[in-house]
Amino acid sequence: MKLIVIFTSLLGVGAALKSAGLEARAERPDKRAPRLRVVGVEMRAPAINLAEYSTSTSKPTEKRSKSALTKMPGLQQRRESSEAAQSLKLRGEAQASDFFECTNPNPSPRTADCKVIVNQVLSTDDEIIIAANSCLVYSYRTCQAFFCSLCRTLDTSTQFIGSQLDTVDALCVENGQAGTIVGEDAPQWDAGFTYAGKGLPTFDVC
């Protein structure tokens, strides 16, 4: 485990059929059934080039109103665990107070690319401090993921960030959209996916 501090001022099968009986074979020409070849098809996952995966820091640039947000449904985070929950150090955090929005950018990020980011984030075990109005950014091909501190400096973990990104993937990206989830309780934060290179959202929740 390592501590990361972010302060930004601007991260074949074959079968043969044979004739039965030696006498029958002597009475007629030797005709053999053709061999049936069954060719197996090997399914391979798309190649992942981690040289295309990067992390950076940035600042939110697109101001949005919280009135456009929808309250989180009773969706269980697919990778949620008690360990991830304990690693969350955002005071006052509660699932019921989280909101989200899905948007329809053109083009939109590919869910396969976003899943690579989720897996990479969850594969680490880092504690992170993020300054107010700053973002940690993860990029892979068409997908850009972010986690931003909206109002004040906060500390969290890559396990919590990965869990939030996984939820946004299920809510929005798998449906061909981009999306953001917002923690409205102090210290406020947002996390989500945009198409690569697009601006990062911020909400009036401070």
Contact 109, 143 (CB under 8 A): yes
Q: What pLDDT, on a 0 to 100 scale, did the predictor assign at position 174?
A: 96
pLDDT along the chain (206 residues), means of 10: 56 39 47 46 62 94 88 60 45 54 95 97 93 96 96 92 94 96 89 96 90
Question: What is the rounded CA–CA span in Å between residue 77 and residue 168?
Answer: 9
Phi and psi dihedrals of 157, rounded to 5? -140, 160
Domain boundaries, the chain: 2-6+55-203
Contact 147, 124 (CB under 8 A): no
For residue 54, the model assigns a pLDDT of: 96
Residue 187: its pLDDT value, please?
86
